[in-house]
Amino acid sequence: MAKTYKKPEALSEQVTHYCPGCTHGVIHRLLAEVIDELGIRGRTVGIAPVGCAVLAYNYFTFDFQEAAHGRAPAMATGIKRVRPDLMVFTYQGDGDLASIGMGEIIHAANRGEKFTTIFVNNTVYGMTGGQMAPTTLKGQRTTTSPAGRDVEDVGMPVKMAELISALETPAYITRQTVIKPKYIVRAKKAIKKAFQYQMDRRCFSLVELVSTCPTNWGLTPVEAIKWTEENMLPYFQLGEFKTPDEVEED
């Protein structure tokens, strides 16, 4: 059963600036592994968001662009339109993708742009100090919802995977999580599948990843995992919401 495990080539040596236990690190590694396995490092362009992952480009070993807050899907569109042969992914947080970047992600998905979006949903604006995000859970306290998210006042948390699945244009849309090894393995499969659809120039793909932000939640990494499981997973249900195929394949 035993196997070797080491840093993928697509990942740089640099120690990340992420807080201890932050799942951004796990997701980075999965991406790097998939890119290694597909052998596409030399023709991949990543797009870093504005959010805690703004420095993501430091942690990979292939071409990167850094977007403005929320606009990664527009940048990816620009790249894919002029260079359809490149493999392009955006890496975006929930503030980035679901708040300021709502228009861009919906339109890129609707146009069926052939890139992949990795959507890291941790229910808060990590980088700027834990403000409320569109995905903040009902009653969840943040620095700008000090009394807890009041859904009467600001509505329900947005379910991006479901929302984008409501578009008519074919796409691959899935929600996974990385809070435990078994989920991590599935998340990696989903990312790989998304990249494969892109390689085949089939469709847009979005992998939403239910993630943690121990620092801004005020929890230890271990508590954060538990909190995610108990609070996020019941609302942000895991699964495949849409595939471009008539009959689902794996």
Partner 1 sequence: MQREVMFAGFGGQGILLIGNILAHAAMEQGFEVAWVPSYGPEMRGGTAYCLVAISDRPIGSPIIRNPMHLVAMNRPSLEKFAPMVKPNGVVVINSSLISIGAERDDVDELRVPANDIAKDLGSTKVANIVALSAFVARSNIVDFEVLRKCVQEQFASREKLIPINMAALDAGEKAARLK
Partner 2 sequence: MAYKHIIDNDRCKGCGLCVTICPKNVLEMSEDVNSMGYFPAHQARPDDCIFCTTCCIMCPDVAITITKVVEETEASEQ
Partner 3 sequence: MGKILMKGNEAIGEAAIRAGCLNYFAYPITPQSEVAEYLSRRMPEVGGVFLQGESEVAVGYMLFGAAGCGARVLTTSSSPGISLMSEAISYISSAELPVVFVNIVRGGPGLGGILPSQADYFQATKGGGHGDYRLLVLAPSGVQEAVDMVMMAFPLAEKYRNPVMILGDGLIGQMMEPVEFSDHLKSEPSNKDDWATNGMDTRNRKERNLVKSLFLDAELLEEHNLVLKAKYDRMKQEEVRYEPYNLETDYRALVVSYGTMSRVCKTAIDNMKAEGIEVAMIRPQTLFPFPIDPIRAAAAKDGCQAAISIELSMGQMVEDVERSVQGKCPVHWHGKAGGEIPTPEEVVDVIKSLIK
Q: How buried is 119 (Cβ within 10 angstroms: 0-12 exposed, 13-18 middle, 19+ buried)?
A: buried
Site for partner 2 in 168-187 (CB under 8 A): 180-181, 184-185
Token duo for residue 165: 């699945």
User: Smallest distance, Å, CB 62 to partner 2?
Assistant: 17
Q: CA 250, CA 248: separation in Å to the nearest integer?
A: 7
* CB closer to ligand SF4, 122 vs 177: 122
Give every CB contact of residue 134 below 8 A, 6+ residues apart in sequence: 94, 95, 98, 99, 102, 157, 158
Binding site for ligand TPP (CB under 6 A): 49-53, 69, 93-96, 120, 122, 124-128, 133, 213
**Site size with partner 3, rule: CB under 8 A:** 55
Q: Which x/- pattern, by CB under 8 A, does the window 25-64 give for partner 3? A: ----------------xxxxx-xx-x---xx-x--xxxxx
Token duo for residue 106: 């919906």
Picked from Mg ion, partner 3, ligand SF4, none, the partner binding residue 137 (CB below 5 to 8 A depending on kind) is: none
- Site residues, partner 1 (CB under 8 A): 17-19, 52, 54-55, 127, 215
